[in-house]
Amino acid sequence: MKKRFLAAAGLMALAACLSGCQGSQGTAASTNGGEAASDTSAASDEDKTLTLWIFLNPESTEDARSIVLKNIVEKYNDENENGYQVVVESMNWDKIETAAIQAAAANTGPDIINFFSDYLQTHIEGGTVQPMTQYAEEFIASMPDYLHTADSLKIGGEIYGLPWETRVYVNWYRKDIYETLPNSLDELVEMAAEKTDERGLGFALGLSEGSSASTFMESFIPWIHSAGGELLDPDGKPLFNSDAGVRVLNTMKALYDSGAMDNSVLSMTLDDVQDGFKAGTIYGISVGSHRASTLYNSDLAENFVSAPIPGFESGTPAPALVAGQTLALGKYCKNTDAAFDFITYFFSEETQIEFLKANSMTVRSSLYDNPDVQALENYDDLAAWNEYASTGTMTVHPDDYAELSVSLVKAAQEVIFNGADPKEQLDSVAAWYNEKHGF
């Protein structure tokens, strides 16, 4: 108890010392405190609310997925027989980990938490979630068309989260600029250099360390897979400092050297890359399928086309990088029965079809055969992404994935912009990672 108190106080202390950062953290200001996770199925008479922390904002109409969330919450609040009401606390997607871990250190947190699958291990290690194995196994068994099996979701023998959507990272091109799409990464370099003109870049990878270098990793991982390499081995040891890793960095450098990209990509995050594409100053980018709704909200949308990320071998796309938004029970959930009951609402056919309409790929494979889905305007995109997604699997990354990503993008920056040796840079990151983990 004393350690817990000190940990929470330590977090508060650091926050207090960093007075200038108060506005940036986006922490959940009000959370309903709960007792420790044991016996959490007992409902409290006093507090019948369940808090949900999620990046979507049901008050917003900007993202079609937010409207679906609003409908789910309203439906659950109207229909459920246990008397619970779900209250949504919306926060920026890259602030959820920070807020949840801070809250967990103070023995509190949301009843239900949504996060990106890349950070599952971070939430487990940070003590923000609790196992939901019993609930999940039974639920998955009742949903035979679910993309994941119970075993594939287990970490250390327990299931901690259920992905309710899936996404695959694809390349987006301006079809009025690219008459034909590149069949390989070498071709991408060549074509992108040709397409670059005064108005825009032929292709852009975001190489900023902002947002935990996520946009860089979303290309680095499929590219290294395509080159026959891996990021880490099953024990978590670095494998990226291989010939495959070197080849990836050399190809990224070729994009810069050929003029397809310029210095501006150094400070670009995912949002900058996306906004540049929407504004017509970038002609090719690599972002996830889930960003389609946002991309299509552009005057140039009729010229946008997506395609699998090309690989090093002509005609063979890079193995897909698949991830998804995941729902979990908060460590200090007041009533796990009610909370899991709410989670199941995300997986109904009706809800999943609504998410499909919002360009969010379903986790229920049979829905692609559903006539209502086949009649959707965006069905061709969805079907193509689903087909590409089947070439990859969802990966559980280590809990320090953000730190590793930033170290890797810094190595890439040195190679691409300062002409550093790629092997030396990758070896240096691997040595740091090995030392950190005692490998």
Partner 1 sequence: MTAEKKTRRWKDKWISIIFVAPTILLILFVSIVPMVIAFRTSLHDTNYGEILGFVGLKHYKQILLTGDGWNNIFNTILYAMGSLAVVIPLGVMAAVGLNNKLKCVTLLRTLIILPWVLSQTVVALLWKWLLNGNFGPVSYVWFALTGEKADFFNTAWIARITVILVNVWFTFPIVLILTLAALQSIPLDLFEAAKVDGASRRDLFWKITLPMIKPTILTAVVMQSMEYFSMVTLIFVMTAGGPFDATETISLRAFKEGFTYWHLGLGSAFSIVIFVMNILFSLIYVRILRNKED
- Applying CB under 8 A, the residues found at the interface with partner 1 are 3-4, 6-21, 23-25, 98, 101-102, 104-105, 125-127, 200-201, 208-212, 262-264, 266-269, 272, 275-276, 279, 281-282, 400, 402-403, 410, 413-414, 417-418
Q: Answer positive or negative: Cα dihedral of 110, 112, 117, 122.
A: positive
Supply the minimum distance, in Å, between the C-beta of residue 1 and partner 1: 13
Supply the minimum distance, in Å, between the C-beta of residue 134 and partner 1: 26
Supply the minimum distance, in Å, between the C-beta of residue 7 and partner 1: 4
Residue type, 353: I
Supply the minimum distance, in Å, between the C-beta of residue 410 and partner 1: 8
Is the CB of 57 or the CB of 166 nearer to partner 1? 57
**Is residue 187 within 8 Å of 284, Cβ to Cβ?**
no
Is the CB of 18 or the CB of 155 nearer to partner 1? 18
Strand partners, 330: 129
Is the CB of 16 or the CB of 301 nearer to partner 1? 16
Is the CB of 73 or the CB of 96 nearer to partner 1? 96
Q: How far is CA 181 from CA 6, 261, 284, in A?
A: 57, 18, 10
Is the CB of 67 or the CB of 266 nearer to partner 1? 266
Supply the minimum distance, in Å, between the C-beta of residue 264 and partner 1: 4
The token pair at 360 is: 């969010």
**Could you give the 3-state DSSP secondary structure of residue 91?**
coil
Q: How far apart are CA 119 and CA 131, in angstroms?
A: 15
Is the CB of 210 or the CB of 317 nearer to partner 1? 210
Supply the minimum distance, in Å, between the C-beta of residue 269 and partner 1: 8
**Is residue 97 within 8 Å of 55, Cβ to Cβ?**
no
The token pair at 266 is: 């150094």
**Is residue 289 within 8 Å of 269, Cβ to Cβ?**
no
Is the CB of 272 or the CB of 381 nearer to partner 1? 272
Q: How far is CA 137 from CA 141, 152, 256, in A?
A: 6, 11, 48
Supply the minimum distance, in Å, between the C-beta of residue 336 and partner 1: 22
Is the CB of 97 or the CB of 381 nearer to partner 1? 97
Supply the minimum distance, in Å, between the C-beta of residue 418 and partner 1: 8
Q: How far apart are CA 422 and CA 246, in angstroms?
A: 6
CB contact set of 143 (below 8 Å; sequence gap of 6+):
347, 364
3-state DSSP of 332-376: CCCCHHHHHHHHHHHHCHHHHHHHHHCCCECCEHHHHHCHHHHCC
